[in-house]
Amino acid sequence: MADALPLGATSPVQTKRPRWSRKVKADNIAGYLFLAPWIIGFLAFIVGPMLASGYLSLTKYSGFGDAKWVGFQNYDKIFQDDLFYTSLYNTTYFAFLGVPAQLLVALLLAVLLNMKVRYVNVFRTVYYIPTVTPAVANVFLWVWIFNFDFGLINSLLRLVGVSPVNWLWDPQIVKPALILMSLWSVGQQMVIFLAALQGVSEELLEAASIDGASNFRRFIRITVPLISPVIFLNLIIGIINLFQTFTVAFIATKGGPINSSLFYVLYIYRKGFESFSMGYASGLAWILFMIILVITAIQFYFAQNWVYYESGEAPS
């Protein structure tokens, strides 16, 4: 005879695990099939090469023949390499001055293009075109603009009686010139800022205007905090992109003059595809990955002090 339950006790409820219908299973399978090309591409072209470069960074490998295991010798050589520090300094200079300049220009353009004026869509298109123009074409255009003898900027300087400037071949000027060149392609950041500005509540701006706030004060006190997540996004992406700058230096200056525009990724290219030191280049690449990872983590840590989310949650 089954044991009786104590008075007031209830029998445990046995919950059955819900069974998925055939339609749900078919939908899940279809979803995974649609994801499969991306997953395969991610594993084959990102994870696979990263793991391979991690192994090669511990070997002596020229790109041909067998890789010889050398342990951490490549990293020891890297940290004793003067050009490693030169390229890292040039890249850091370019990123930490170029990103704020890009954000400022992109935000100002977005504010202007957010105004309700005639032909605003035409202006938006014109300012965005350089972003979709091939990078090589953009660089050649700016090489002509910066040309010492017949470049556009120096021609204008001569007209007003100012001596021409050797923009791309003066060690003191080449990096600021390349930063100026990078401002040509801020269309992506501009569009993101424009979308954020159009999402700012008109009611808040009108209420502040009624209280007597000026346009500048409304922008600083209301608009900027509300679009701070987008500023943070563009900041993260901008630093990651500029730390990987290659095309502009490779085409315009070849890293010169006197290695003053030798950026980190250009140095990786030289070691890997000119000196055929693939193991050394792989070590450089992994150091760059760790540098970007640390900088990004630091930005996320400090973002909680200035990035405002309406939900009240800090970025993580």
Q: What is the pLDDT of residues 62-72, one digit of tens each?
A: 988 899 999 99
Number of separate helices (H) and strands (E) present in the chain: 16, 2
Would residue 221 count as lying in a domain? yes
What is the C-alpha separation between 175 and 90, in angstroms, rounded? Answer: 8
- Between residues 204 and 294, which one has the greater pLDDT? 294
Would residue 16 count as lying in a domain? no
* Dihedral sign from CA coordinates of 43, 44, 48, 49: negative
Would residue 35 count as lying in a domain? no
Q: Is the pLDDT of residue 19 over 80?
A: no
CATH of the domain at 104: 1.10.3720.10
Average pLDDT over residues 52-70: 93
pLDDT, residue 17, reads 53
Helical residues (DSSP H) of 244-277, grouped into ranges: 247-252, 264-269
Residues across the chain: 316
Averaged pLDDT score across all residues of the chain: 90
Would residue 272 count as lying in a domain? yes
Q: Which of 237, 249, 245 is nearest to 295 (CA)?
A: 237
Domain range for 186 is: 79-303
Average pLDDT over residues 33-55: 94
- Report the percentage of the chain scoring pLDDT > 90: 77
Would residue 74 count as lying in a domain? no
- Report the percentage of the chain scoring pLDDT > 70: 92
Q: How confident is the model at residue 25 (pLDDT cuts 50, 70, 90)?
A: confident
> Per residue in 97-122, is it b (16+ CB within 10 Å) or e — as a string?
ebbebbbebbbebbeebbeeeeeeee
What is the C-alpha separation between 267 and 254, in angstroms, rounded? Answer: 10
Say how many Å lie between the first and final Cα of the chain, rounded.
58
- For 108-112, the CB contacts below 8 A with 24+ separation are 109/186, 109/190, 109/193, 110/190, 110/191, 110/193, 110/194, 110/196, 110/197, 111/193, 111/197, 111/219
Q: What is the pLDDT of residues 199-236, one digit of tens each?
A: 998 898 889 888 888 988 999 999 999 999 999 999 99
Average pLDDT over residues 107-130: 91
Helix (H) or strand (E) holding 260, with range, is none
Q: Is the pLDDT of residue 11 over 70?
A: no
Number of domains composing the chain = 1
pLDDT, residue 1, reads 47
pLDDT, residue 117, reads 84
Average pLDDT over residues 151-174: 94
Would residue 106 count as lying in a domain? yes
Q: Is the pLDDT of residue 299 over 80?
A: yes
